[in-house]
Homo-oligomer: A and B are copies of this chain.
Amino acid sequence: MVLLFGIFIRYNEEADAHWVEHKQQHNLTDIDNDFYFRYPSFQDVHVMIFVGFGFLMTFLKRYSFGGVGFNFLIAAFGLQWALLMQGWFHSLDQDTGKIYIGIENLINADFCVAGCLIAYGALLGKVSPVQLMVVTLFGITLYAVEEYIILNLLHCRDAGGSMVIHCFGGYYGLAISWVLYRPNLHQSKHNEGSVYHSDVFAMIGTLFLWMFWPSFNSAITNHGDGQHRAVINTYIALAASVVTAVAISSMFHSKGKLDMVHIQNATLAGGVAMGTSAEFMISPYGALIVGFFMGIISTFGYVIVTPFLAKSLKLQDTCGVHNLHAVPGMLGGFIAAIVAAFASDSVYSHQGLINTFDLTGEYASRTMSTQGGYQAAGTCVAMAFGLIGGAIVGLILKLPIWGDPADDNCFDDEAYWEVRSSLSFYLNEMCFVV
């Protein structure tokens, strides 16, 4: 890694000390550095990756260390690999053969890692840390390729990554999990599920994801109105998801009680589905409608679809990635295709339309219905990369060399962590008191 960084990676113009002179030549002010347009969102995205995903995965009663700890490990490892991989596809300077990085590359590396962390959600508790490193290594490579195809070759827009992050990451994890099916997983049944405090820990993850999702969807959109609009749309869609997720959760319970699993997950589905169209002129009520239905679909998925998949499709999906990422991501891709197809000069203004969809150069003549078609095609590419790539990586992970946990040892931190048991602590104390 050090070698590759040494050969390829350099600061970009705005992060280099030469910028002082560049600034004077081009009559720029300090604040014109792209850094200031992106840094607040970057930090929010960073929080989502490490605290959001990390704590969301602490919900299991005996796997909180693995949830937050392995998330930390693979995210930090993945970032480095992502800087290289995405750099080769997106930022490689043809003349110098170097990758010039700046704040946008850091955000994109976080995005890239997000795809792998979503996949981890489907595998949580059933794989070894070494297997996770393999998932990350291949996941990031696949991500860089599919993203290049979708964004550069098909020239799709996907600011918040409904397609390239959520749809790809979700199906990637599901395909791996499907290949790694464990018929005797019921032997770890006593470790599945949450306890009271672990559910409260998971709410930390949920809330930081929920709150900062507007930053996620706006982090790399256009300066000015693009970022502004992406924030508004995402904020509204998320608010709507919460209300319908709660309503459906209560409706499916015999006594009208709420289930923490739905509150922790389905409340976020609006943000996933708004990923691609956040920067479009979907209008505030459009965002509200998307959020409204995603809360319903996602909660329904947790109640009905996940148990069905486990039973009939032999698909073990620990965190319900199918309901939170795969399906809402895919739907988000198709919704954006429709919104794009109906975009017009009157709604966006002529220059606004060109800016929003970057219809310059060779794409200047692309009509909006064509753009819609490409957006839909992009969604299919993401799904295909996830499913096929995941199946192949799953097969690699079946090799008996990776130290995966035994069937009766899943969802248990004891396998990979030095655990100072809270139980023995309470028992000791008790003996002392009694």
Known A-B contacts A61-B425, A263-B72; A239 and B80 likewise in contact (beta carbons under 8 Å): yes
CB distance from A382 to the nearest CB of B (A): 26
| CB–CB A416/B257 < 8 A | yes
> Total interface residues on A, using CB and 8 Å?
128
Question: What chain B residues lie within 8 Å of A44 (beta carbons)?
Answer: 43
CA distance A235 to B289 in the complex (A): 38
Question: What chain B residues lie within 8 Å of A418 (beta carbons)?
Answer: 253, 257-260
CA distance A41 to B35 in the complex (A): 12
| CB–CB B348/A17 < 8 A | yes
The B-contacting residues of A in range 324-357, CB under 8 angstroms, are: 347-353, 355-356
Point out the residue from B46, B225, B260 that lies within 8 Å of A211, measured CB to CB.
Answer: B46
Q: Is the interface of A mostly helix, strand, loop or mixed?
A: helix
CA distance A240 to B79 in the complex (A): 9
A399 on the interface (CB 8 Å rule)? no
Chain A residues with a Cβ under 8 A of chain B: 1-2, 5-6, 9-11, 14-21, 23-24, 29-33, 35-37, 39-41, 43-44, 46-47, 50-51, 54-55, 58, 61, 64-65, 68-69, 72-73, 76-77, 79-80, 83, 101-103, 106, 129, 190, 193-197, 199-201, 203-204, 207-208, 210-212, 214-215, 223-225, 227-229, 231-232, 235-236, 238-243, 246, 253, 257-260, 263, 267, 281, 283-285, 288-289, 292, 347-353, 355-356, 416-430, 433
| CB–CB B31/A37 < 8 A | yes
| CB–CB A224/B33 < 8 A | yes
CA distance A204 to B50 in the complex (A): 10
Known A-B contacts A51-B204, A430-B423; A417 and B257 likewise in contact (beta carbons under 8 Å): yes
CA distance A375 to B215 in the complex (A): 36
| CB–CB B77/A243 < 8 A | yes
Point out the residue from B15, B423, B427 that lies within 8 Å of A232, measured CB to CB.
Answer: B15
Known A-B contacts A11-B281, A353-B17; A106 and B232 likewise in contact (beta carbons under 8 Å): yes
CB distance from A125 to the nearest CB of B (A): 15
CB distance from A76 to the nearest CB of B (A): 4
CA distance A243 to B77 in the complex (A): 6
